[in-house]
Amino acid sequence: MEKIKSPNIPIMYATTIIGGMLFFLPVLALYFEKSLFSITNVAIIFSVEAIAIVIFEIPTGAIADLFGRRKTMIFSNLIVLCALVFLSIGGSMTMFVLYAILNAFARSLTSGTDSALIYDSLKEENKEHLYKKIIGTYMALWPLGASLGSIIGGYLAKISLQLTVLASFIPILIIFVLSFFLKEPKYEKENHQNILRHMFGAVKTILSNKQLIIIICTFLFMIALSEPLHLLDPLFFKYKNIPIEYFGWISALTFAFSSLGFYLSHYLSEKIGNRNILILVSILCPLFILTATLNSGILLVVFWATSAIYFGIKNPVVSHLLNSQVNSSKRATVISINNFMGQLGTAAVLPLLGYFAELYNIQTAIQLSILASLIIPIMLLFIKEKK
């Protein structure tokens, strides 16, 4: 690969792999359920976070465009530390809601900012053609960190669910320090700092571009019909009578397959086309998840984990399609609007999933979500690749 001079790429690689080592990830739903006593209440917490992301997503993208990528990343990591304080206290709906809101704010600050920082760092050296490969590697590293964190977290959970949260302060403190070493890349800035004006300008950009509308609407369904399954999978494993000590290993295996997907995304999309690879994985993923729900034991684990390759393949491709349609002055905000739509869908689907899980069971709720996801390959047919 061509040599890249910017220090931002290796720093972003380091922060994403370390940032993935959140030891509570494989048992977070169980940690909530221990105090909140029902799947519906657990789904409400995740839904609160998704709604909060919806509220924060676009303004925080404008903040990154107007005030700088580096400052936004530093501030985001500080907020994550504050969120973990409330999560570690836990014990009530109030503490978990405060965690969900602060974590949503932090995620919104990073969302769009990280990919914009990487894209503009490459563009500064006229190497933006490497973006899809770089962002694929960047996205692949987080699941690797999450895999290690999940394995450790699974064993920590046997001692105490709260211990998984307390141990997660260590990686977050490390990436907070690393974020100070980032360099602000050069990019086009608008000659004002009016967040609302910038937000409306980005919305206008999207509405004037038919392809952006199609990409964002498709992404909405992709996230809304997949992210809730990932958030509630500990409850599914519990329903299938899988011992808690194996949750970390299953989570690690799932993250490993998503990491493989991120890594292969550039290669596969270059071979068969961006749209074609998205259509292919959007068909295979639900088939694998459906097969997992119809099995138990090792077959359940294998099909559930391997379906995660879909997440890895699709994200760099969608990110590439978005970046190719916008200029740098509105890049972070447009990406944030895209993520906003995905979180809006997640916020809507999570309570429904929780409701159907209570009405029937978590397995039936997942199968209904899979059925709805069949609309995604149809929507992808309307995407045209920019030449």
- Does residue 19 fall inside a structural domain? yes
- Does residue 176 fall inside a structural domain? yes
- Does residue 1 fall inside a structural domain? no
pLDDT less than 50: residues of the chain: none
- Does residue 2 fall inside a structural domain? no
Where do we find the tokens 């944030």?
Answer: 336
Query: Do residues 223 and 319 make contact, with C-beta atoms less than 8 angstroms apart?
Result: no
Query: Do residues 285 and 226 make contact, with C-beta atoms less than 8 angstroms apart?
Result: yes
Q: How many domains does the chain contain in total?
A: 1
- pLDDT value at position 255? 82
Q: Render the burial of 277-290: b for 16+ CB within 10 Å, e for the rest.
A: bbbbbbeebbebbb
User: CA 343 to CA 202: how far, in whole Å?
Assistant: 18
- pLDDT value at position 386? 61
Dmax (CA) of the chain = 59
- Does residue 17 fall inside a structural domain? yes
- pLDDT value at position 371? 92
- pLDDT value at position 130? 86
- Does residue 91 fall inside a structural domain? yes
Query: Do residues 152 and 248 make contact, with C-beta atoms less than 8 angstroms apart?
Result: yes
User: CA 387 to CA 377: how far, in whole Å?
Assistant: 22
- Does residue 386 fall inside a structural domain? no
- pLDDT value at position 78? 95
- pLDDT value at position 375? 93
Q: Tell me the CATH number at 370.
A: 1.20.1250.20
- pLDDT value at position 367? 94
Q: Supply the range of the domain harboring residue 49.
A: 9-184+193-380
- Does residue 4 fall inside a structural domain? no
